[in-house]
Amino acid sequence: MRRALAVAGVLLLLVVFLAARFPWARLVPRLLETARGETGAEIRLDDFGLGLGWGGPQVVAQGVVLRWPGTEALALDRVTLRPAWSLAWLRGHPLWHLEASGPPGSWRGELALDRVSGDLAGIDVAALPWGLLGARAPLSGRVSGNVDLARVDGAWRGSARLEGEPGSVDLEGLPVAIPYEQLVAQVEFAPEVVRLGQARLAGPMVTASFTGTANAVGGAFSSWPLDLEVEIEQIDPALKNYLIPLGIPVDPEGRGHLQVTGSLSAPFLSGGRH
Helices and strands per DSSP (H, E), number in the chain? 3, 18
Residues 109 and 144 in one domain: no
Residues 63 and 142 in one domain: no
Residue 239 phi, psi (nearest 5): -70, -35
Note the pTM of the prediction, 2 decimals.
0.79
Residues 154 and 225 in one domain: yes
Total domains, the chain: 2
Of 16, 97, 11, give the one whose Cα is nearest residue 52: 16
Give a yes or no: residue 255 inside a domain: yes
Domain containing residue 253? 136-274
**pLDDT string in tens for the chain (274-residue length):** 455 444 444 445 545 555 555 555 666 666 677 677 767 778 888 887 776 666 666 778 899 998 888 788 889 999 988 888 777 666 677 788 899 999 999 999 998 888 899 999 999 998 888 877 777 788 889 999 999 999 888 888 999 999 998 999 887 767 778 899 999 999 999 988 999 988 999 999 999 999 999 988 766 777 889 999 999 999 988 888 888 888 888 888 889 999 999 887 788 888 865 5
Residues 147 and 201 in one domain: yes
Q: Give the three-class secondary structure for 89.
A: helix
**Max CA distance (Å), the chain:** 79
Query: 173-197: b or e for each residue (b if 16 or more CB lie within 10 Å)?
Result: eeeeebbbeebbbbbebeeeebebe
